[in-house]
Amino acid sequence: MIFDTHAHYDDEQFDTDREALLASFISAGIGNVVNVGASIDTSEKALELAHRYDFIYAAAGVHPSEVTELNEDSIRQIETMCDDDRCVAVGEIGLDYHWPEPEPDLQKKWFIRQLDIAREKKLPVIIHSRDAAADTMNIMKSEHAEEIGGVVHCFSYSKEIAAECVKMGFYIGIGGVLTFKNARKMREVVDQTPIEKLLLETDCPYLAPEPYRGKRNSSLYLPYVVKAMADIKGISEDEVIRITTDNAQRMYGLSEH
Ligand SMILES: [Zn+2]
């Protein structure tokens, strides 16, 4: 069964058919989903979904683009959510310099603060990092992220940076972009990274794989990513599914479930 390590089924794009869609997963070979929060509100919604569906787990955290909502009170809300036994990670947190706001210093401050929560709660982190490779690596090193562990999701950097992340014990999250024609850099990352360090993810409703690029994404399209990964690695699609699911269970601490 496929493990979708990063999805946003709380998104309003699923409002019309969420229940029917989620109900179709088991028969389509989708075994587990981690629904990831990006704000206080969506972290709460992720936990609601995780309580309603056995196969869904939640992550609680505030995305770098949303950190202006953070203060000590909202940090305490995240800490409380992390104590819920359906919460398996802190995320998504990190740095996103694609847009000028929020200013980098503010993003860094709350990235570090949320890394501290993960350390304290003994949960892995889901790192979102866009156009911010150097600062992300510097913070991961200075904060000893190797003691926390987790995934750099929707990985978009070079194979050299992927190797550094793997050396720190991190997993690399791979989604629909792998199927895009111009994804040479990402294919290099998948080729070079040991499959024991790769995770499957959708980031849905965003980043649908070919042939659905631009459409609403869902876990049902992950077999296209599996196929692309199997081709690069020269192994069967079943092997890709088995190993990446093991990886996800190990990272999220679900092996005993
Ligand atoms: Zn996401």
Distance from Cα 7 to the centre of ligand 1, integer Å: 6
pLDDT at 177 (0 to 100): 97
Q: Are 223 and 2 in contact (CB under 8 A)?
A: yes
Q: Which domain holds residue 222?
A: 2-256
Mean of pLDDT values over 5-33: 98
Distance from Cα 92 to the centre of ligand 1, integer Å: 7
Task: Check: pTM over 0.85? Answer yes or no.
Answer: yes
C-alpha closest to that of 33 among 201, 207, 253, 179? 201
The number of folded domains in the chain is 1
What is Dmax (Cα atoms) for the chain?
50
Q: pLDDT band for 255, please (50, 70, 90 cuts).
A: confident
The answer for residues whose C-beta is within 8 angstroms of residue 235's C-beta and 6 or more apart is 195
Tokens of residue 119, six digits: 């350390």
* Mean pLDDT over the full length of the chain: 97
How confident is the model over 43-92, as pLDDT tens digits?
999 999 999 999 999 999 999 999 999 999 999 999 999 999 999 999 99
Distance from Cα 205 to the centre of ligand 1, integer Å: 9
CATH number at residue 80: 3.20.20.140
Q: Are 37 and 50 in contact (CB under 8 A)?
A: no
At 94, give phi and psi (nearest 5°): 150, -145
Mean of pLDDT values over 224-242: 98
Tokens of residue 97, six digits: 């310099």
Distance from Cα 203 to the centre of ligand 1, integer Å: 5
How confident is the model over 189-214, as pLDDT tens digits?
999 999 999 999 999 999 999 999 99
Distance from Cα 151 to the centre of ligand 1, integer Å: 12
β-bridge pairing 150-152 and 198-200: unpaired
